[in-house]
Chains A and B, each alone.
Chain A
């Protein structure tokens, strides 16, 4: 957490060049800490690989992910169809490749929604305190009374099954965690001298929140956001698996698994490749998230 504070706090007193140098060295320290241990490197590589696959999927995929080819249905993995074909002859390899685009988008959109709602709520609750804080935090408590992804399930039940709604639901479900975290950090930051100083020079509340408070509570938010990424991907895939997220013929991994499970005895590749894809993706983000958390913690960084 010291990393961000060093670069933003008290910046007025430091000459611009030195400030830049400090920022660069802070970022370099962070980068070094992030990729020093194997988990950070492996996680980073997996994510990079995923992004490349997602970008290149339409070019490198040998077939269209939705092209039906009934004569070649349920053929096992071969040179023609690396991961085999599904019940209506679609190429599983091409589908898994283009599924990566959906998964990354799901993670990005869900976490952004959670961030937008959670950070705003937490900021308002922590900054204004009093009755506002009380009301916001009781709402958060109620949201946290729904175990795991049950809240997302309830929201998607209301909005109706679709991938967009699943992303919204997962985002809202994850917001309470951010709200709690941000509120706690804001409570400690708002007592600092530079916030008082900003009040004294007559800055508006909105300006203080965005210019003085937010940059100094950013570090824990970044950590939680990276850790929330795999959770969101997994939750959305689960919703799709239950038929409440992506709808056919979308090559979403969770929905591929559920349509493949009918053929578990005869065509296990229909569940194994999408399952493996989810596993590797979530693993990559988990490894990376843990590395970000450790790198952000200066006590761990110095070791």
Chain B
């Protein structure tokens, strides 16, 4: 197992390095002069521009900039935000926990709904339950998150006054955004759980269990669903990525103060160091979560680690 984890980590390093390079290249590849972009193309004093250029290290050769960037990242320095003049790391640190909370809450919603709907649909295949849950799943798949979010705000916050409308960082304020994100993610999950469960239900050991006269509910709970879960774990990892990028939109809709909302603000102001920092942090999180999923996968299904 330790060897397996070490090997996965080693494989991850070049990918992460690639991500780092791509994020570095973002600013380099931006068409036009980066200092121009910071000033939104306004006329500025050439001396001021030269000073900024020097401060940002833009007057140095590209490989020096690259080396400095990597050195900075390794030492936890992601540069300084142009709009707030505070270190990017500080900005992200103050927002990151909120995004983690939102993502985990959404994941909980997604997994509970997805598992329930998927298992029920598989167990009662071709019944009304199956049809309804698959129609709902397709609906969820087609739902724009920002519209669902606004609808929930309209119904539950504006009309029913059950929840705060916007920008509440309380546990109550967490419910609507995490339901929005979670419901959409559960759509994919339900489909995967259903097909995985159907496959397991055809296995010999299920037939054996039934032949032994075990109650159907025991067959489902004791024998089937744990095995059906194996492929689902991978999808949960992928869905985590969807939740992370979905959080960018949902945080913006609900004014939830996470890195997503911060990113949208930075994007609108073209605050490049901040955008780069957030993208790097979110991509790194995703890469690490996928590593965790791989390890989890091997732990659930010992056959994987020995392949």
Contact mask A258-302 → B, CB, 8 Å, 1/0? 100100110010011011101100110011001000000000000
Q: Is the C-beta of A225 less than 8 angstroms from some C-beta in chain B?
A: no
Q: Is the C-beta of B10 less than 8 angstroms from some C-beta in chain A?
A: no
Q: Is the C-beta of B16 less than 8 angstroms from some C-beta in chain A?
A: yes
**Do A238 and B19 form a contact, CB below 8 Å, given A148-B244, A150-B282, A153-B248?**
no
**Do A271 and B286 form a contact, CB below 8 Å, given A142-B18, A154-B26, A244-B267?**
no
**Do A147 and B151 form a contact, CB below 8 Å, given A141-B18, A157-B267, A286-B142?**
no
Q: Is the C-beta of B154 less than 8 angstroms from some C-beta in chain A?
A: yes
The answer to whether A283 and B15 touch across the interface, beta carbons within 8 angstroms, is: no
A155 and chain B: residue at smallest CB distance? B26
How many angstroms between the C-alpha atoms of A123 and B16 in the bound complex?
25
Q: Interface size of B by Cβ–Cβ distance < 8 Å?
A: 47
Q: Is the C-beta of A126 less than 8 angstroms from some C-beta in chain B?
A: no
Shortest B306–chain A CB gap in Å is 24
A282 and chain B: residue at smallest CB distance? B142
**Do A147 and B15 form a contact, CB below 8 Å, given A234-B144, A242-B248?**
no
Q: Is the C-beta of A241 less than 8 angstroms from some C-beta in chain B?
A: yes
Looking at A142, A244, A279, the one whose CB has the most chain B CB atoms below 10 A away is: A142
The answer to whether B142 and A153 touch across the interface, beta carbons within 8 angstroms, is: no
Q: Is the C-beta of A138 less than 8 angstroms from some C-beta in chain B?
A: yes
Q: Which residues of chain B are near A264, meaning CB under 8 Å?
A: 150, 153-154, 158
The answer to whether B138 and A150 touch across the interface, beta carbons within 8 angstroms, is: no
Q: Which residues of chain B are near A77, meaning CB under 8 Å?
A: none
B141 and chain A: residue at smallest CB distance? A286
Partner of A150, one of B141, B150, B151, B248: B248
The answer to whether B248 and A230 touch across the interface, beta carbons within 8 angstroms, is: no
Shortest B102–chain A CB gap in Å is 14
B11 and chain A: residue at smallest CB distance? A141
Q: Is the C-beta of B72 less than 8 angstroms from some C-beta in chain A?
A: no
Shortest A165–chain B CB gap in Å is 10
The answer to whether A242 and B15 touch across the interface, beta carbons within 8 angstroms, is: no
How many angstroms between the C-alpha atoms of A252 and B65 in the bound complex?
39
Q: Is the C-beta of B206 less than 8 angstroms from some C-beta in chain A?
A: no
Partner of A241, one of B16, B146, B244, B283: B146
The answer to whether B249 and A238 touch across the interface, beta carbons within 8 angstroms, is: yes
Chain B positions 1-60 with a Cβ under 8 Å from a chain A Cβ: 14-16, 18-19, 22-23, 26, 29-31
Q: Is the C-beta of A254 less than 8 angstroms from some C-beta in chain B?
A: yes
How many angstroms between the C-alpha atoms of A287 and B244 in the bound complex?
26
The answer to whether A157 and B286 touch across the interface, beta carbons within 8 angstroms, is: no
Q: Is the C-beta of B118 less than 8 angstroms from some C-beta in chain A?
A: no
The answer to whether A142 and B144 touch across the interface, beta carbons within 8 angstroms, is: no
A240 and chain B: residue at smallest CB distance? B146
**Do A271 and B150 form a contact, CB below 8 Å, given A142-B15, A286-B142?**
yes
The answer to whether A154 and B279 touch across the interface, beta carbons within 8 angstroms, is: yes
Q: Is the C-beta of B224 less than 8 angstroms from some C-beta in chain A?
A: no
The answer to whether A145 and B287 touch across the interface, beta carbons within 8 angstroms, is: yes
The answer to whether B19 and A148 touch across the interface, beta carbons within 8 angstroms, is: no
The answer to whether B154 and A268 touch across the interface, beta carbons within 8 angstroms, is: yes
Shortest A121–chain B CB gap in Å is 15
How many angstroms between the C-alpha atoms of A150 and B19 in the bound complex?
12
A143 and chain B: residue at smallest CB distance? B22
The answer to whether B283 and A147 touch across the interface, beta carbons within 8 angstroms, is: yes
Shortest A241–chain B CB gap in Å is 5
How many angstroms between the C-alpha atoms of A146 and B283 in the bound complex?
5
Looking at A39, A148, A271, the one whose CB has the most chain B CB atoms below 10 A away is: A148
The answer to whether B19 and A146 touch across the interface, beta carbons within 8 angstroms, is: yes
**Do A242 and B286 form a contact, CB below 8 Å, given A159-B31, A234-B144?**
no
The answer to whether B15 and A148 touch across the interface, beta carbons within 8 angstroms, is: no
How many angstroms between the C-alpha atoms of A166 and B233 in the bound complex?
32
Shortest B246–chain A CB gap in Å is 7
Shortest A280–chain B CB gap in Å is 8
Q: Is the C-beta of B147 less than 8 angstroms from some C-beta in chain A?
A: yes
Q: Is the C-beta of B167 less than 8 angstroms from some C-beta in chain A?
A: no
Q: Is the C-beta of B117 less than 8 angstroms from some C-beta in chain A?
A: no
Q: Is the C-beta of A57 less than 8 angstroms from some C-beta in chain B?
A: no
Q: Is the C-beta of B258 less than 8 angstroms from some C-beta in chain A?
A: no
The answer to whether B146 and A257 touch across the interface, beta carbons within 8 angstroms, is: yes
Q: Which residues of chain A are near B282, meaning CB under 8 Å?
A: 147, 150
Shortest B241–chain A CB gap in Å is 3
Q: Is the C-beta of B242 less than 8 angstroms from some C-beta in chain A?
A: yes
Shortest B212–chain A CB gap in Å is 31
A156 and chain B: residue at smallest CB distance? B267
A284 and chain B: residue at smallest CB distance? B142
**Do A147 and B26 form a contact, CB below 8 Å, given A142-B15, A242-B267?**
no
Q: Is the C-beta of B110 less than 8 angstroms from some C-beta in chain A?
A: no
Give 6 A-B contacts (CB < 8 Å), ordered by A residue. A145-B286, A147-B242, A150-B245, A158-B26, A264-B150, A276-B147
- B: residues with CB less than 8 A from A are 14-16, 18-19, 22-23, 26, 29-31, 138-139, 141-147, 150-151, 153-154, 158, 240-242, 244-246, 248-249, 252-253, 263-264, 267-268, 270, 272, 275, 279, 282-283, 286-287
- A: residues with CB less than 8 A from B are 39, 138-139, 141-142, 145-150, 153-154, 156-160, 230, 234, 237-238, 241-244, 254, 257-258, 261, 264-265, 268, 271-272, 274-276, 278-279, 282-283, 286-287, 290
Interface contacts beyond A145-B286, A146-B279, A282-B143: sample of 12 additional A-B pairs, CB < 8 Å, sorted by A: A39-B138, A147-B245, A150-B279, A157-B267, A241-B144, A241-B249, A254-B144, A265-B158, A271-B151, A271-B154, A278-B147, A279-B144
- Shortest 7 CB-CB contacts between residues of A and residues of B: A147-B241, A148-B245, A275-B147, A142-B18, A283-B142, A282-B142, A147-B286
